Structure 1
């Protein structure tokens, strides 16, 4: 009965099934006839897929230089051998026509420092080949900054530093494609062997083949922001900031400056407070309540501000308020230090990394890290490294950073010796804007360097902003981006090199070596066993002879000395007879060992005879 009731309950009437099927067919027909609009999230997903596919196509695209006319050679300026090779390469590129393309030789741009170098010998080269005057040009930093479009591609002769220097030359322009040949020590960014230079140049400029793949290496744009000190009345006396490649001041920084009775000095100099400012209380001072220390600090701060900045607002000086470093940093980007607007000093396009460290100071760096104008964390370490995927194998790697593939558009943030156990390196997307700022309450300033060049001091309140550059650096690949990168890891850094674990029961070269060593051990063991048996047999006979001699000597000591002297010769003969008789009784074979033993006994007898009193008397 229970089973029948359960079947009645679970059975669906045929009419209900027919109604559901009709509704389903009607709904499907409605969806097929009426188009449905895409939702915003669907559109975003489709756009993201399209962007990824476009990036994949860019990375796999074959690029062919269409009839290049000019080439720029960047080589080590301090190596005479490379300078001499640069001269030979320039002559080859000028005089060698590209017959497959029906084109003449290239116009070559050489470093201007080579013009007067003895290894290059430009004067003799021009006198011997007069047509080189129009084909052999010289480049400098100004040409790269203003007329970068005149260069079709670049050849580097050196190591990784030469490639980074090439990127540094093109600061505000697109870098031409770079063909890098390995003549350095590491060669992580130099993919080509100098021995294959003719074959590689035919691929690049010889109009042969399908083309080459180019790695668009991401660069970072770093802008240094400081405060406009010219607007302050206390610094108008000849103080000027030169916005050149070196940030210098016209006044001598070693001289102390006096402002309304307050003398300031550089790091390590003394600081003199006026007598009108009350001194802080001593420990155990009962006249002052501990709760008044904060008011005392406010009073000192207001008086210092009043002396250092005469234009301080009276209302703000009447009611001074202490502000923390984060409150100060919240308004620094818009207002600057003490209400002055920060101004950009310089902008650099870097290929490797930006390093912000403590410089010569012995104190730990204190930096505020912002991402998209939001405070991320306070860095308390020796410094901070912001690197590109290309720079992930440089300083960032030494500081414990990760290895980043060059096709991953990201910024790697790596602390240098952080004073915490939880500050780990992290990757940020390339679309973010990063800001590193020195807080107002920092004990010291910070120093920043760009690709290991051009160190600039960041004073309190100064900061540097970092975002992705609009000018990447294209480098010619040997195979493609991925293969070249992994090969560089193995070749230069010996990445994950280890002897492979042997499987159980597999025959390897070690097994044959093991067999050879085992046979050698067995052979040596047999030889040593034979030697030991022969030595033991000889030692047994020798011990018997020595025992007999000891008995004879003890007997001789008991007898009278005179009789021993007279019978010494007969004693030696009888001893020899006894030894021979014992050897014959032992059943041993007669041979060379026994004759040797007999000779040894004769020698010993002669020795005893020589030391006897009779022999001494004869002497």
Structure 2
């Protein structure tokens, strides 16, 4: 079973189901009743893995031969087809098969159940997890979820005068609309003169006990306390929500009050209608895959002598878990960037994918982006635009000192590692969605893999299918050009 954030249990997706319309109607008409007991929007995979439909196999209507002869000479199809009563020969596991069962990165604690970090999962587990997230996203896009809203979280820039006014207006509207709503705003607004929390309480005594203030610690310790997040601002505000909720993420309704707005789906002017429909009729959610990035610090070696990062990660010393130790993990929605920082020289970065050394990058830096972040730093660095439903990782060099480094697109089941070699001239710097900028000294590296905790975005009900194409056309003027004039044929 898959645990859902919205207080319900979403069944594991195993292909077509004749009863699916009825189940969908029952789910649409049901509302949750728990307030603080909601579960994390986390994909949980069973030991037997995720079953995939063999949609490419055409069923046959031929009656089986009495001699039990196989109907195909193809070795691959003989493994895929079911032959009742026919013993299947056992095959030795290949190198790729054995690699599916190995952990990719180092684990200094040697945990027996490394379920907390995706970098410590096996290749098969990461593949099943990413597949499960995509299938769950497809399922959620086809149903409307009704929420039992009680605790509303409002997020906006606390230093922007205009946004403070909008935050106060939205708070006042919510507290007036329903006596059971509790609204949380940032703690810095408690004594803000523009927000004037005391004035609100004096004007409306019924707001007492229902107007609350959130802190970063509350978001980290009790994220399940909030039923929904209202993001007032631009894409940066949505990224801030991802940074606040590193694991459990409530569904996010984003109102456009910024500049571009790839992630902001609703116009603020119509917020009363939008919120009324969302709370009363239900919401449709899109899951955006996030990356998990972990900083790995080089440990002092007792043997002394020269060290090689390639050997320590994929060579003879790759089994030594004590060469590096973790130093902080971040879930990111847009990108991980490793660059030269304040150093005057280029960065030298070793790039690894699973058990392979991909290349040595000599550039200002490297950008590893999610499909959601393809329109952000990845775009500015010359990377490809990518629809958010694609199961990929985008790798783009930043001002590479070569003519042949082209952007590359990799599957999201891979574990990337970007490290600073021991003989590098200078250290590099890593940032995560533009935050938590940290120094990577020679020997340090950062791992990047699919996260177990996706980011749920609430979609407009009337324009789900063309929302992304509309956003790049509206904000970037994608393929905008004056139309070529038609010929006027001469008939004389």
Change over 3 Å in CA distance of 1:33–1:123 after alignment to 2: farther
Does 1:147 pair with 2:222? Answer: yes
Distance 1:333 1:137 in 2: 50
Does 1:380 pair with 2:362? Answer: yes
TM-superposed CA distance for 1:326, in Å, is 3.8
**Deviation string, structure 1 residues 344-403 (Cα, Å, up to 9, x no partner):** 000000011000001111111111111013111111111100010111001110111001
Does 1:223 pair with 2:294? Answer: yes
Matched position secondary structure for 2:426: coil
Contact 1:59 1:481 in 2 (8 A): no
Change over 3 Å in CA distance of 1:32–1:491 after alignment to 2: farther
Distance 1:183 1:468 in 2: 30
Does 1:31 pair with 2:65? Answer: yes
TM-superposed CA distance for 1:62, in Å, is 2.4
Distance 1:115 1:387 in 2: 37
1:194 corresponds to: 268
Contact 1:334 1:342 in 2 (8 A): no
Unaligned 5+ residue runs, structure 1? 1-27, 98-103, 233-310, 314-319, 508-619
From 435, 444, 450, the counterpart of 2:426:
444
1:124 corresponds to: 199
Distance 1:181 1:53 in 2: 25
Contact 1:411 1:430 in 2 (8 A): yes
Relative CO higher for 1 or 2, CA cutoff 8 Å, sep ≥ 6?
Answer: 2
Distance 1:351 1:227 in 2: 27
1:605 corresponds to: none
| Number of residue pairs the alignment of both structures matches | 377
Does 1:368 pair with 2:449? Answer: no
Does 1:457 pair with 2:457? Answer: no
Matched position secondary structure for 1:134: coil
Contact 2:133 2:454 in 1 (8 A): no
1:81 corresponds to: 162
**Deviation string, structure 1 residues 320-354 (Cα, Å, up to 9, x no partner):** 7x776644653565548xxx531100000001100
Contact 1:381 1:416 in 2 (8 A): yes
1:476 corresponds to: 458
More helix, by proportion: 1
Distance 1:312 1:326 in 2: 18
1:531 corresponds to: none
Does 1:63 pair with 2:144? Answer: yes
**Deviation string, structure 1 residues 476-519 (Cα, Å, up to 9, x no partner):** 11245541111110111111001122222399xxxxxxxxxxxx
Contact 1:64 1:204 in 2 (8 A): no
Contact 1:434 1:466 in 2 (8 A): yes
Which is greater in Rg? 1
What does residue range 463-502 of structure 1 map to in structure 2 within 5 Å?
A: 463-478=445-460, 479=462, 481-502=464-485
1:402 corresponds to: 384
Matched position secondary structure for 2:478: coil
Distance 2:68 2:308 in 1: 61
What does residue range 53-452 of structure 1 map to in structure 2 within 5 Å?
A: 54=135, 57-58=138-139, 60-97=141-178, 104-171=179-246, 173-205=247-279, 207-208=280-281, 211-228=282-299, 312=303, 326-327=310-311, 330=315, 334-335=319-320, 341-452=323-434
Change over 3 Å in CA distance of 1:357–1:33 after alignment to 2: same
Distance 1:42 1:34 in 2: 14
Unaligned 5+ residue runs, structure 2? 1-61, 72-76, 83-127
Matched position secondary structure for 2:423: coil
Give me the CA root mean square deviation.
2.9
TM-score w.r.t. length of structure 2: 0.71
Change over 3 Å in CA distance of 1:188–1:81 after alignment to 2: same
Matched position secondary structure for 1:77: coil
My pick for the range that moved more, 140-149 or 123-132, is 123-132
